[in-house]
Chains A and B, each alone.
Chain A
Amino acid sequence: MNGTKSYLSKTVEELKPSGIRRFFDLAAGMEGVISLGVGEPDFITPWSVREAAILSLEQGYTSYTANAGLMELREEIAGYMQKGFGVSYSPRSEIIVTVGASQALDIALRAILDPGDEVIVVEPSFVSYVPLVSLAGGVPVQVQTLKENGFKILPEQLEKVITDRTKAIILCSPNNPTGTMLNGSELEAIAQIAEKYDLLVLSDEIYAELAYDGEYTSFATISGMKKRTILISGFSKGFAMTGWRLGFVCAPETISQAMLKIHQYAMMCAPTMAQFAALEALKTGRSDVEDMKKSYKRRRNYFVQSLNELGLTCHVPGGAFYAFPSIESTGLSSEEFAEKLLLEEKVAVVPGNIFGESGEGHVRCSYATSMELLQEAIKRIGHFLKRNQKA
């Protein structure tokens, strides 16, 4: 290398590193930190699931599976989607087992985008949506939701940004980082727009198992939407299996088969032992999921009410395990707030601006932490606020 020529692709060079990284570096090495900064369950994968993975290794299942995943697992996923969410997919042609929901999202975007195609990302959004659109050659178009609307997207907001190049909308409900969940009629309104402008919808339903208030509606069940929906889900959040990297994607056959082409060349298949674990999770893990969900809901109730009492106003999140309180009363930016809180009180939260501009003025707190630690975190945040209220 002579130092003048860059060997990197322009897209990658222009990609911003995740803002979460900086906070990880800042918190690493500090002792006694209470972490509300994690996007994953505090439960360990249920023992029966771990045990199934061990058994599969003992029995010597260490080779590749079919590209789209173990047939038995796809059949089980089809049953799970039908029974749990009321949407039916063919295990043979419409379901692909992926390396986490992240890879599902990646192959979905790569399968549908041509250079310059626009994808609407509803903000605040999970950190990887925007970069993944760019990496697939698309142009991310961010739409900001408002806290006054409980961070729910309004149809007219979508309509404003639609152009001839718009190909798809990415939705996440329940949402990371806001916990906002869209109900049936709200999804219906988005469906009408998708229909009117002939758009696809990438529906990230990874938190579907963690919907606390009211019935969960899968976007694919809205009338006429199955053919427009790429449904992304996985085992990480509901089944407490983040480290297994196992997700899946359901889509109409033509899209599925296109995604499968990318998946088979880039990834071959998801890890076999993780697939056996997932199979067990679907077969016997339902009661564990229910127990975990009940526990999250109690902690949500405690944590959100306590934040509100401290003056960090916060809408009640309908699902996932995040609270997204406003920190405007402190006059600090979300980055300043998160950094000061970490250094002064050793409580780690994630600044809202990392999830898009509309997240500014907020921080993401994960309440997937033991009640004892949540109680202590509330105490520490209380001390912090006493010193840091706007005059």
Chain B
Amino acid sequence: MKLTEKQIEVLAILENNSARIPVEDIAKMAELSKAETETILDKLEEMKVLVRYNSVIDWSKVDGHEGVTAMIDVKVAPKRGVGFDEVAQRIYRFKEVRSVYLMSGAYDLSVIIEGRSMNEVARFVSEKLSTLDSVLSTTTHFILKKYKHDGTIFEQNEDDKRIVVSP
């Protein structure tokens, strides 16, 4: 998809700043008017380039929100005509599934599952995922701690270490 320079600039601003940044401020940063910026945002959303305004949340810090994330390596038998797409589709429709990637190497699909407990994830894998026709095998890795997610470092002391006034 060929985007204009300004469309790309607006995307870069969104990617590098909080999703809460007001449209007026995006406009100033990209040297656009507010109306122009709104048009660009609408267009990007319509083209599904701008898919979602995301927030990265460290749930491990929130009481009562201790979920479990697992990465599952899945080997599948691809089907004639539809390859891996059909089985991927059957997998990503489950609401427990956060991401599905087709991989090169030792296995075919990488599936990321989020559940409330280890039990819930285990049950999903054994009852739903492994029993799919094309699935040959699964290997489940539980995530023990998130250090960095989507480019965001979770436990970083980001205090400004500069002195207040300097030459």
Contact = CB atoms under 8 A, between A and B. Distances in A.
Interface of A: 18, 20, 23-24, 27-28, 30, 33, 35, 37-40, 42, 126-128, 294-295, 298-299, 301-302, 305-306, 348, 350, 369, 371-372, 375
B29 A28 contact: no
A375 B165 contact: no
B28 interface: yes
B6 to A, nearest CB: 12
Given A305-B28, A372-B18, A375-B25, A294 B163 contact: no
22 contacts: A18-B167, A20-B166, A24-B166, A28-B163, A30-B164, A33-B164, A35-B160, A35-B162, A37-B166, A38-B162, A39-B166, A40-B162, A40-B166, A128-B167, A298-B30, A301-B28, A302-B28, A305-B28, A348-B164, A350-B165, A371-B18, A371-B25
A295 B167 contact: no
A165 to B, nearest CB: 28
Interface hub of B25, B29, B167 (most chain A Cβ within 10 A): B167
B55 to A, nearest CB: 14
Contacts of A27: 164-165
Interface residues of B, number: 18
Interface hub of B17, B28, B164 (most chain A Cβ within 10 A): B164
B165 A24 contact: yes
B87 interface: no
Nearest to B18: A372
A61 to B, nearest CB: 26
Contacts of B21: 371
Contacts, number: 62
B31 interface: yes
Nearest to B13: A298
B163 A38 contact: yes
Contacts of A301: 28-31
A302 B21 CA distance: 12
Contacts of B16: 295
Contacts of A30: 164
Contacts of A39: 166-167
Nearest to B16: A295
Contacts of B136: none
Contact of B12 (A33, A294, A350): A294
A79 B25 CA distance: 39
Which 8 pairs between the two chains have the least Cβ-Cβ distance? A37-B165, A298-B29, A27-B164, A302-B28, A24-B165, A35-B164, A305-B28, A23-B165
Nearest to A37: B165
B163 A42 contact: no
Given A23-B165, A298-B30, A350-B165, 14 more contacts: A24-B164, A24-B165, A27-B164, A27-B165, A33-B164, A35-B160, A35-B164, A40-B162, A298-B29, A301-B28, A301-B29, A302-B25, A302-B28, A371-B17
